[in-house]
Structures are given as C-alpha cells and as structure tokens.
Amino acid sequence: MIEQMLAFFNSNYHLITIVILSIFLGIEVISRVPAVLHTPLMSGANAIHGVVIIGAIIVMGEAHEGDILSLILGFLAVVLGTLNVVGGFVVTDRMLEMFGKKKKK
C-alpha cells in the first residue's frame, strides 16, 4: 500500500507540484476581496470549475459508436458542463454589470 503510494507520488510528481503551487496561488490571489464582491467571485469561480467539461468532451469524443450508454452519459455530461461554464460566466457578468454601476470612486 505504502509502496504503491510512493510509486504514485513519483510518477505524478510534477502534477503534485502543480497542485501545491495552485493551492497557494488560489489562496493568495483572492485573499483581499472586499465583501461586496463575495457573490460575484463565488459565481466566477463556479464558472471556472466548469473546466471539467473538457473531461466530458474527451470522454464523449472517445466513446465508441456503438456504446450507447457512454454516448448518452457523455452527452449529458457535456450538456451539464456547458451549462456550468456558459451559465456561470453569463450570470457573473450580469451581477457585475449591476455592481459595476456602483463603481467609480
């Protein structure tokens, strides 16, 4: 078990480094957000994790013609992922449009 974990660690070392750097970066980058922007920031971040759609596209695009189950599930996954991405960005933009008016200071 431990051996497997170490092997996993080794073979994914660079990815793990990327994960750790990204964690720090995620924290640093938003740590001074004012309270008014909490909702749009949440919404914008929500749209960004829609990047999971790329996985859905790959799954869908690699499914065999005959594999109806995969095709249907993959189709659903792409639709849902697109909803997340597109809806997320659009709704964030609308929020910020409203808030934006308040800005000028």
Partner 1 sequence: MEQFQELLSTNPFLLLSYLIGSITFIMGLKMLSHPDTARKGNMIAAVGMTLSIFTTIFLYKNHNGEGLHNYGWIFAALVIGTVVGTMAAKKVQMTAMPEMVSLFNGMGGACAMLISLIEYNGDLAPAPGKLLIIVLGMIIGTVSFAGSMIAWGKLNGRIKDRTIPGGQVINFAIFGAVIFLSAMVVGGYTGNHAVFYAILGFAALYGILFVMPIGGADMPVVISLLNSFTGVAAAFGGFLYNNPVMLTGGILVGSAGTILTILMCKAMNRSLMNVLIGSFGAKPGAAGPGGNKEQGNAKEISLNDTAVLMAYAQKVMIIPGYGLAVAQAQHTCHELEKVLTEKGVEVSYGIHPVAGRMPGHMNVLLAEADVPYEKLLEMEDANDQMGGVNVVMILGANDVVNPAAKDDPSSPIYGMPILEVEKADHVIVNKRSMKPGYAGIENELFFRPKTSMLFGDAKKVLQDLVSELKNV
Q: Read off the tokens for 50.
A: 């829609």
Residues within window 24-43 making contact with a copy of itself, judged by CB under 8 A: 24-25, 28-29
Give, for 72, the enclosing helix (H) or strand (E): helix 68-82
Query: Which of these, 24, 72, 19, 78, lies nearest to 50 by C-alpha position?
Result: 78
Residues within window 19-48 making contact with partner 1, judged by CB under 8 A: 19-48
Nearer to a copy of itself, 21 or 83 (CB): 21
Q: Smallest gap, in angstroms, from Cβ of residue 3 to partner 1? A: 10
Q: Does 68 bind partner 1 (CB under 8 A)?
A: no
Nearer to a copy of itself, 14 or 101 (CB): 14
Q: Read off the tokens for 76.
A: 């659903």
What gap in Å lies between CA 11 and CA 23, rounded to an integer? 20
Binding site for a copy of itself (CB under 8 A): 14-15, 17-18, 21-22, 24-25, 28-29
